[in-house]
Chain A
Amino acid sequence: MLRSVFTKVIHDQWRILIAWAVFAGLWPALYIALYPSIGAVEEMQSLLDSMPPAIRQLFASSDLDISTPEGYLNIEMFSFVAPLLVMAYTVIAGGGATAGEEDKGTLDLLLANPIRRRRVLAEKSLAFLLGTAVIGLGMWLGLAAGALGAGVEVNLGLVGQAIVSALLLGLAFGSFAMAIGALTGQRWLAAGLALATSVAAFFLNGLGSLVDWLDAWRPVSPFYHYIANDPLVHGLDPVHAGVLVAGTLAWFAVAVVAFERRDLRR
Chain B
Amino acid sequence: MAEPIIRADKLTKYYGRARGVIELDLEVQPGEVFGFLGPNGAGKTTTIRTLLDFIRPTAGRATIFGLDAHRDSLAIRRRIGYLPGELTLYESLSGRELLSYFAHLRGMLRDGRGEVLAERLDCDLGREIRTLSHGNRQKLGLIQALMADPELAILDEPTLGLDPLVQLEFFKIVDEIRAAGRTVFVSSHNLPEVERICDRVGIIREGRLLAVETVAGLKERALRRLELRFAEPVPVDLLAGVPGVRDLVVDGANLTCVVVGPVDPVLRTALRHEIEDVISHEPGLEEVFMAFYGGQAVGEAPDAA
Contact = CB atoms under 8 A, between A and B. Distances in A.
Contact of B87 (A8, A109, A110, A116): A109
Interface string B40-62: 00000100010010111000000
Contacts, number: 71
A3 interface: yes
Contact of A114 (B55, B93, B105, B145): B105
Interface stretch (B96-104, B115-123, B214-222): B96-104
A2 B89 contact: no
B56 A8 contact: no
B172 interface: no
A263 B105 contact: no
Nearest to A116: B74
29 contacts: A1-B97, A2-B93, A2-B100, A2-B104, A3-B101, A104-B88, A105-B84, A105-B86, A106-B89, A108-B49, A108-B52, A108-B54, A109-B87, A109-B88, A111-B77, A112-B81, A112-B82, A114-B75, A114-B77, A114-B105, A114-B106, A115-B74, A115-B105, A263-B15, A263-B54, A263-B55, A266-B84, A266-B85, A266-B86
B104 A114 contact: no
Interface residues of A, number: 22
Interface of B: 15, 45, 49, 52, 54-56, 74-75, 77-78, 80-82, 84-90, 92-93, 97, 100-102, 104-107, 141, 144-145
A266 B52 CA distance: 13
Given A108-B49, A114-B107, A263-B54, 12 more contacts: A1-B97, A2-B104, A8-B101, A109-B88, A110-B105, A113-B106, A114-B77, A114-B78, A115-B74, A263-B55, A263-B56, A266-B45
Contacts of B56: 263
Contacts of B145: 112
B101 to A, nearest CB: 4
Contacts of A5: 105
B88 A106 contact: yes
A68 interface: no
A111 B97 CA distance: 17
A20 B55 CA distance: 37
A105 B137 CA distance: 14
A12 interface: yes
Most A Cβ at <10 Å: residue of B82, B87, B88 = B88
A4 interface: yes
A246 B59 CA distance: 38
A115 B73 CA distance: 9
Contacts of A111: 52, 54, 77
